[in-house]
């Protein structure tokens, strides 16, 4: 895979449940376009690869 860069966007929030506990949630979109090069039985080729994941996160935090 060739090196690449692309657009990334994130939105989320933190919610303080009480003095010690908090909850976090976020959603991310990452647009990655690259080229994969390969060789099979002495035949070289390449293919464009689009990797565009949506990543969702939910977490809890505790403050001591």
Residues 61 and 31: beta-carbon distance below 8 Å: no
Angle 8-47-49 from CA coordinates, rounded to 5°: 20
Q: What is the pLDDT of residue 21?
A: 98
Q: What is the pLDDT of residue 3?
A: 82
The pLDDT of residue 4 is above 90: no
pLDDT tens for each residue of 6-60 = 899 999 999 999 999 999 999 999 998 999 999 999 999 999 988 899 999 999 9
DSSP 46-57: EEEEEE--EEEE
Nearest-angstrom CA–CA distance, 1 and 4: 9
What 47-50 contacts at long range (C-beta under 8 Å, 24+ apart), as own/partner pairs, is: 49/1
Nearest-angstrom CA–CA distance, 44 and 34: 17
């Amino acid at each position: 895979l060739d090196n690449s860069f692309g657009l990334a966007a994130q939105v989320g929030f933190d919610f303080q449940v009480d003095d010690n506990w908090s909850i976090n949630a976020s959603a991310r979109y990452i647009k990655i376009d690259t080229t994969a090069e390969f060789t099979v039985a002495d035949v070289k080729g390449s293919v464009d690869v689009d990797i565009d994941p949506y990543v969702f996160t939910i977490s809890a935090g505790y403050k001591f």
